[in-house]
Amino acid sequence: MRKEVIPFERVAHAIHLLRGQKVMLDSDLGYLYGVTTGNLNKAVRRNVDRFPEDFVFQLTAEETQDLIFQSGISKGRGGRRHRPYAFTEQGIAMLSSVLNSVRAVKVNIAIMRAFVRLRRMLDTNRELAEKFVELERRVGKHDEEIVAILEAIRQLTAPPENPRREIGFHVREKTPRYRARTRA
């Protein structure tokens, strides 16, 4: 059994969903790599050609506020002075070429394994969701059939309704036994 550099839970907790992508913030990556956030961002700025917009992007003020409320990233005094950068999975992989330390390589491997594990978990959950939808559809069809059967049974077991007798006096004349002849 291999000893993990970073526990999976720590990496999974640092992964956020922003703009429809799974990303990690520069501060979390700096902590995991053992460098300051400023030094991490300097290394990225020195190698800007390796980090296109789909590898790393800076959060908007609104996204930063959402993260502050959701996960409690730095809240003001003594905290961040700038909006954080978010690294996609490809951006994190590219960081390994920028940060050339033994720890960076090990941390990068652990992060990639965490992304793969999360992707597998999501695929499993997606398959389960599809199975639940299929089961719901089948059960829904059975429910409709059961309702139809119960309605048919109710109609068969319900006594026929007798016509209600009208209130008041009614003259009932018998029809004559003979026919009247008509003259032509």
Query: Cα separations (Å) of 104 from 6, 17, 34, 37?
Result: 11, 23, 8, 14
Tokens (6 digits) for 59: 């959060």
**Residue 1 scores a pLDDT above 50:** no
Q: Are 96 and 38 within 8 A, CB to CB?
A: no
% of the chain residues with pLDDT over 90: 0
**Mean of the per-residue pLDDT values of the chain:** 79
What is the pLDDT, as a whole number, of residue 135?
81
What is the pLDDT, as a whole number, of residue 19?
85
What is the pLDDT, as a whole number, of residue 109?
78
182 or 79: which leads in pLDDT: 182
149 or 180: which leads in pLDDT: 149
Domain boundaries 8-126, corresponding CATH code:
3.10.260
57 or 93: which leads in pLDDT: 57
Confidence of residue 106 (pLDDT cuts 50, 70, 90): confident
Average of pLDDT values for 87-102? Answer: 82
Dihedral sign from CA coordinates of 43, 46, 51, 53: positive
Tokens (6 digits) for 126: 């997606």
* Each residue's pLDDT tens digit, 48-89: 888 888 889 988 888 888 777 776 655 555 566 778 889 988
Tokens (6 digits) for 31: 């902590």
Query: Cα separations (Å) of 159 from 136, 153, 155, 156, 162?
Result: 36, 12, 8, 8, 9
% of the chain residues with pLDDT over 70: 87
* Each residue's pLDDT tens digit, 113-162: 888 888 888 778 778 778 888 888 887 777 788 888 888 887 877 776 77
Query: Cα separations (Å) of 10 from 31, 59, 107?
Result: 11, 22, 12
Domain map (residue ranges) of the chain:
8-126
